[in-house]
Amino acid sequence: MSVAFTRPLSSSMSAQFPKQKPAEWISSLIQRYQDQLPTRTGRQMDSEGRQLLNTSHSCIINVSKHHLHLVLQALVRVLKAVNASRWTSEAALVQSRLVVLETLFECLSEAESPSGRSVERECCMKNVLEEMSGLIGNRGSVADKAALVVGRVGALHPSLMLSRLERALDALHTEDTTSEEQSDLALSQLALIGFVPFELDCIIKILTQVNQHWPPRKEFVENVCNMISAVLWRWIERCPDQFSALQHSSQHQLSDVCDGLFMNMNTAELRRRGHCWPVQMLLIAVSPCSLEAMAHADSDLVNLPQAVVIKRQFVDSVVSCVQSCGSGTRPVWTSQLQYACHAAVNLCKCATYVNLSDFFVFNVVQQLIEHVKVVVKLLSNCSLRSS
């Protein structure tokens, strides 16, 4: 289900309102907008209702160019009221959520990145993020639209997202003093981070923060790894040229933090559990300065840095795990095999963004991709036989 709106009108409708008391006429405008939502009218939108909402929507966006935070706070209150609706149909609830989320997103899209910090602004964005966290956990068009809102907030206020991430990592790292409620809040913050389109300098800061707070408590290791993977993939897919350029000339600050985090994840227990394997493979891919040395590790182990040797051993262990499963007729789907296949797929996918035909990653991909196909085929056949 989608809700389409036209872009804001070129001539601001806000000129119709008195300028002396913006809070009052913004409140009046938002109230009219809220009364037009399906959760208030008690029925799904028809063409007339859509036209009325479209007019209010456009007016709100124009007003937000001059009073962004007043408008955002009001829209958050509207969304809270929509979410609290009980005596309404599911279709009307979904439509109303989509309408408000679209208006929120359009207001944020019209906004420019602030030049400095503001307590009022950050408090406003915090309220927006908190309301989005309750919607993103589900699947569907509402969750997708909420993710876009989070991404836009993060793009406008990356420093706010980084400070929230640091508090979340600290809560997941600290033993004993963190309550279950604090842990749940921290996990919701991690989930939001994955929807933000960070630039490379922010990604370096994120990896540095994770490294400084590593390891999290063991029950949260996979959550932190999933957050890192989401952030890295969003950057790779959004900036493929930057990722490809790293294969020609490495970014030393990025390489240092990736290498440090990789080594911190390479403990005996984590190797056995395999939780970190997928993100470790990504850390190798975005920090490829040692990959050429890894290609020659078989013949020159003595003269290579220890980190290069450990990386080569890691890649070989992933290849071996996937190959061992593919060689059997009845593969056992262990958690370690699951993470090995995930790591293998990450490397294969990374290879599609690289233009160097003689790059080391392609040699490994050639070993992996056929074995991953075999594993998937064998598991599919086993599932069919068992059903």
Please tell me the distance from the alpha carbon of residue 134 to that of residue 97, in angstroms, as a whole number: 12
Please tell me the distance from the alpha carbon of residue 95 to that of residue 3, in angstroms, as a whole number: 7
Which residues lie below 8 Å from residue 221, measured CB to CB, with a gap of 6+?
215, 270, 273, 275, 276
Task: Tell me if residue 12 falls in helix, strand or coil.
Answer: coil
Number of domains making up the chain:
3
Looking at 189, 207, 238, which one is the last position of a domain? 238
**Are residue 149 and residue 209 in the same domain, yes or no?**
yes
Dihedral (Cα; 368, 369, 371, 373), 10-degree rounding: 160
Nearest to 350 by CA among 365, 370, 368: 365
**Are residue 262 and residue 370 in the same domain, yes or no?**
yes
**Are residue 263 and residue 379 in the same domain, yes or no?**
yes
Looking at 72, 107, 142, which one is the last position of a domain? 107
Contact present, 258 and 209 (Cβ < 8 Å): no
Question: How many residues are recorded in the chain?
Answer: 387
Per-residue confidence (pLDDT) for residue 383, from 0 to 100: 43
Looking at 173, 206, 238, which one is the last position of a domain? 238
**Are residue 195 and residue 265 in the same domain, yes or no?**
no
Contact present, 135 and 183 (Cβ < 8 Å): no
Whose tokens are 């990722």? That residue is 243
Per-residue confidence (pLDDT) for residue 109, from 0 to 100: 95
**Are residue 184 and residue 275 in the same domain, yes or no?**
no
**Are residue 300 and residue 175 in the same domain, yes or no?**
no
Confirm whether 314 is domain-assigned: yes
78-82 — which CB contacts under 8 Å span 24+ positions? 78/30, 78/33, 78/34, 78/37, 79/104, 79/131, 80/131, 81/34, 81/39, 82/37, 82/39
Please tell me the distance from the alpha carbon of residue 43 to that of residue 239, in angstroms, as a whole number: 43
Which residues lie below 8 Å from residue 370, measured CB to CB, with a gap of 6+?
326
**Are residue 9 and residue 36 in the same domain, yes or no?**
yes
Contact present, 281 and 273 (Cβ < 8 Å): no
**Are residue 255 and residue 360 in the same domain, yes or no?**
yes
Contact present, 165 and 209 (Cβ < 8 Å): yes
Tokens standing for 195? 């929807």
Tokens standing for 367? 């070993």
Contact present, 158 and 204 (Cβ < 8 Å): no
Please tell me the distance from the alpha carbon of residue 71 to that of residue 79, in angstroms, as a whole number: 12
**Are residue 234 and residue 263 in the same domain, yes or no?**
no
DSSP state of 329: S
- Quickly list DSSP for 279-300: HHHHHHHH-GGGHHHHHTTTT-
Per-residue confidence (pLDDT) for residue 359, from 0 to 100: 57
Look at the alpha carbons of 313, 345, 339, 230 in this order and tell me if their dihedral is positive or negative.
positive
Confirm whether 127 is domain-assigned: no
**Are residue 302 and residue 385 in the same domain, yes or no?**
yes
Helix then strand count (H, E) for the chain reads 19, 0
Per-residue confidence (pLDDT) for residue 236, from 0 to 100: 95
Nearest to 67 by CA among 7, 36, 23: 23
Where the chain has pLDDT below 70, the residues are 1-20, 176-177, 288-303, 325-333, 356-364, 367, 374-387
**Are residue 387 and residue 254 in the same domain, yes or no?**
yes
The boundaries of the domain holding residue 368 are 249-387
Confirm whether 87 is domain-assigned: no
Whose tokens are 């296949």? That residue is 341
Per-residue confidence (pLDDT) for residue 159, from 0 to 100: 93
Look at the alpha carbons of 342, 348, 352, 354 in this order and tell me if their dihedral is positive or negative.
positive
Confirm whether 244 is domain-assigned: no
Alpha-carbon separation of residue 82 from 76, 268, 309 (angstroms): 10, 49, 56
Confirm whether 260 is domain-assigned: yes
Tokens standing for 358? 């003689």
Please tell me the distance from the alpha carbon of residue 100 to that of residue 57, in angstroms, as a whole number: 9
